[in-house]
Amino acid sequence: MAGTGPNRNRRFGYAWLGFAAALAVHVLDEATHDFLYTYKPAVQAIRARIPFLPLPTFTFGLWLSGLLAGVALLVCVSPLAFRGARWMRLAAWPLSIVVGVFNASLHMLSSVYYRRWMPGVYSSPLLLLAALFLFVSARSQKTGAARLAVPDNNQPLPRLATGVAIALCAAKFLLHAVTSMRNYGYFRDELYYLDMARHLDWG
């Protein structure tokens, strides 16, 4: 049992580096397939329908330099991942879900919806797998300790099953968001709430 801690830390470190590498490949994929050409019109259309949603637009140089700086930062802090730093594991959860699962799923679902290959979709499966591996590896330290503390009949769900369930939920949410935004627009209840927000009163 003494080697389980270092082994988990090593696995988490490799998962962190693998995610950084997959993200770098994804950035290269987007940059070489003119991602901003698709991104900017989509953001402008969303802003026109939902003005209060803070979606940014970028120039190519600012967008690429920011993403490369993010990848470089992930690589620079990777030694802390191999040491099993707790804050790194906590940061890995939203990082893997938002930057990995959410981002990759959006690329793949939009490609299916628009019936053409969207910029960045070629590397999205790799990014999705790396994100799920990072998520599972980040949880392994906590669940490993939990197995020693709780009885066998109270063991948590398998780590892989949890990651797959979260990925499926994110994909379903993205599918609803993409199709609803383009084809349906506001639901009547939402218009009612927006009108009430413009005419505030004590009731």
pLDDT in tens, the chain (203 residues): 444 567 778 889 899 999 999 999 999 999 898 888 888 887 888 778 887 777 778 888 888 888 989 999 999 988 888 888 888 888 899 899 999 999 999 889 888 888 888 888 999 999 999 999 999 988 765 544 444 444 444 555 556 566 666 767 777 776 666 666 555 566 666 677 777 777 777 75
Is 111 part of any domain? yes
Which structural domain, as residue segments, surrounds residue 9?
A: 4-198
Interval 85-121: pLDDT, tens? 888 888 899 899 999 999 999 889 888 888 888 888 9
> Which among 167, 169, 39, 14 has a CA at the least distance from the CA of 104?
167
How many domains does one find in the chain?
A: 1
Instruction: Tell the residue number behind the tokens 């290269």, with chain if given.
Output: 28
- 203 occurs within a structural domain: no
Instruction: Round the average pLDDT of the chain to a whole number and report it.
Output: 78
What is the distance between the alpha carbons of residues 60 and 62, in angstroms, rounded to a whole number? Answer: 6
Q: What is the pTM of this model?
A: 0.65
Confirm whether 125 is domain-assigned: yes
Please, are residues 38 and 1 in contact by the beta-carbon 8 Å criterion? Answer: no
In a domain, 176, yes or no: yes
Question: What angle in degrees, to the nearest 10, is found between the helix axes of 124-149 and 103-114?
Answer: 140
Whether the Cβ atoms of residue 123 and residue 31 lie closer than 8 Å to each other: no
Residues in the chain: 203
Contact 177, 145 (CB under 8 A): no
